[in-house]
Amino acid sequence: MAKAAEHQDKEHQDSTDKGLDRDCTTLSRHVLQQFQGFSAQAQDLSALMNRIALAGKLVARRLSRAGLMEGVLGFTGEVNVQGESVKKMDVYANDVFISVFKQSGLVCRLASEEMDQPYYIPENCPIGRYTLLYDPIDGSSNTDTNLSLGSIFAIRQQEGEDRDGQAKDLLAPGTKQIGAGYILYGPSTMLVYTMGKGVHSFTLDPSLGEFILTEENIKIPDHGSVYSLNEGNFWQWEESVREYVRYVHRTEGYTARYSGAMVSDIHRILVQGGVFLYPGTVQKPEGKLRLLYESAPLAYVIEQAGGRATTGEMNILDVVAEKLHQRTPLIIGSKEDVAKVESFIQNGH
Ligand code: P6P
């Protein structure tokens, strides 16, 4: 009996240790583990990721109460630098990211979809040479309908002096990103990130107020059944893209999924495989999605998970931007499915 009880105790102890250890594997601890030590850079990036997590918690809290509060939903009546009508949630989330980095000593500049020019935090600059590029709310058309949304972020190291305030060093290719990821505001709030050492997901535990490790070293399947694009644009595309869509329509084994929020669609593809595409159109060959704070961070994540991301002509991570809000066509996901789309675009079939 004693032996069995001892065994039971040990089993219980093991499972308790595992459960406790998982609950203690917070985002900031995981980032330190990524750098296998406590160097100044590891500490800075751990603290930086923790601020991004705080931004995610503040946005998630606002979204969860949107229907209960005045002034959260709907449009501001303004138009942003993209020429898009601005949602109140866009402005709130943009301000949240700025606020969490003030007095942080970590981030000197913030570049956002919602701001024409980068936002400087001069008191951080002598030390915090990092720049955060972000889309505060991705998929804001979903805000007023309680559907999934995301925030997308990329971390870059400032290169040289940004004397003219034009942040020209940010126009470097996506391979210069130190870290990138997204926050998915869905049935649960998840944070997915990479620092170049694999892709890892965390789930917000509201009872702890912490993002707890969910999956490490996520690998995207080489192929998946999902193709994700807005077929309402069918007659706006080049013929080669229309031919690809006709191919998946007539080929067994494909299924269409498109939510209106790229973070949500790409997270599904990261987990199940498949391809998301937002091609250019005849009128706008450069496409709709932005390079520096949407496509490049997501490309970093998907490539780190073993997938691919291309403009149709070249890898997203190799594109050198000419301007901060540059747009790009995007084809991203499982390597076999991205290759299939490329075969239509590059060979016209
Ligand atoms: P459309 C949201 O505005 C976004 O940038 C992506 O999140 C989303 O996939 C896409 O645009 C939706 O655009 O033209 O299909 O409504």
* Percent helix / strand / coil, the chain, rounded to 5: 45, 25, 35
User: 333 pairs with which residues across the strands?
Assistant: 275, 308
| pLDDT at res. 132 | 96
Q: Tokens 């159109």 map to which residue?
A: 281
| pLDDT at res. 1 | 58
Third-level CATH fold of 226-348: D-Maltodextrin-Binding Protein; domain 2 (3.40.190)
Give the contacts of 241 (CB within 8 A, at least 6 positions apart).
277, 279, 341, 344, 345
Instruction: Kindly state if the Cβ of 261 falls inside 6 Å of ligand 1.
Output: yes
Q: Whose CA is nearest to atom 15 of ligand 1?
A: 230
107-112 and 130-138 strand pairing:
parallel
Domain boundaries, the chain: 18-215, 226-348
| pLDDT at res. 123 | 84
Q: Whose CA is nearest to atom 14 of ligand 1?
A: 230
226-228 and 255-256 strand pairing:
parallel
- The tens-digit pLDDT sequence of the chain (349 residues) is 577 777 777 777 777 777 777 777 889 999 999 988 788 899 999 999 999 999 999 999 999 998 888 888 888 888 877 778 888 899 999 999 999 999 888 999 999 999 999 999 988 776 668 999 999 999 988 888 999 999 999 999 988 777 777 888 899 999 999 999 999 999 999 999 999 999 999 999 999 999 999 999 999 999 999 999 999 999 999 999 999 999 999 999 999 999 999 999 999 999 999 999 999 998 899 999 999 999 999 999 999 999 999 999 999 999 999 999 999 999 999 999 999 999 999 986 5
Q: Which amino acid is at 268?
A: R
| Numbers of helices and strands, H then E, in the chain | 8, 15
What are φ and ψ of residue 305, in 5° steps? -90, 5
346 C-alpha to center of ligand 1: Å? 24
Q: Tokens 């694999």 map to which residue?
A: 198
85-87 and 330-333 strand pairing:
unpaired
Tokens of 326: 């540059």
Q: Hey, what CATH class is 18-215 in?
A: alpha beta
Tokens of 98: 């700025």
What is the largest distance, in Å, between two alpha-carbon atoms of the chain?
78
| pLDDT at res. 24 | 77
Instruction: Kindly state if the Cβ of 135 falls inside 6 Å of ligand 1.
Output: no
